[in-house]
């Protein structure tokens, strides 16, 4: 059974930083797309960044380019999202997600392309 467990959320002031972690277990394939999504109250879930475990390529939403960095530690089976220069509009529940085996990442960030989801971790940025 695939499980994704996020951690690292919290409350920070604008301009601050947080690092989110997502520990993966139960996934047999090493080739997949892993991504971070977020959802603010009253808004649709949106893709933030994704990481192709086969080749290491990444995509970022325009709203976070230059501020967020996605990475993965293969040995620890952990996906990270380093978030710098946080803004109040980054406030949301952040979710880790993984595609089916062999899937490639795309900049579409379509939620239907991801098969498994974590429970989320809350990020709150105050001005």
pLDDT tens digits along 51-105: 999 889 999 999 999 999 999 998 999 999 999 999 999 999 999 999 988 889 9
**pLDDT at position 28:** 76
Nearest to 89 by CA among 65, 125, 49: 125
Q: Is 88 helix (H, G, I), strand (E, B) or coil?
A: helix
- CB–CB of 48/64 below 8 Å? yes
Q: What is the DSSP letter of 103?
A: P
């Amino acid at each position: 059974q695939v499980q994704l467990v996020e951690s690292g959320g919290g409350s920070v002031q604008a301009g601050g930083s947080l690092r989110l972690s997502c520990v993966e277990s139960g996934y047999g394939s090493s080739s997949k797309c892993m991504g971070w999504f977020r959802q603010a109250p009253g808004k649709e879930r949106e893709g933030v960044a994704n990481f192709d475990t086969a080749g290491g390529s990444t995509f970022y939403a325009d709203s976070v380019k230059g501020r967020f960095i996605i990475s993965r530690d293969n040995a620890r089976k952990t996906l990270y999202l380093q978030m710098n220069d946080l803004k109040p509009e980054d406030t949301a529940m952040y979710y880790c997600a993984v595609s089916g085996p062999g899937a490639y990442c795309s900049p579409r960030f379509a939620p239907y392309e991801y098969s498994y989801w974590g429970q989320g971790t809350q990020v709150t940025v105050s001005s």
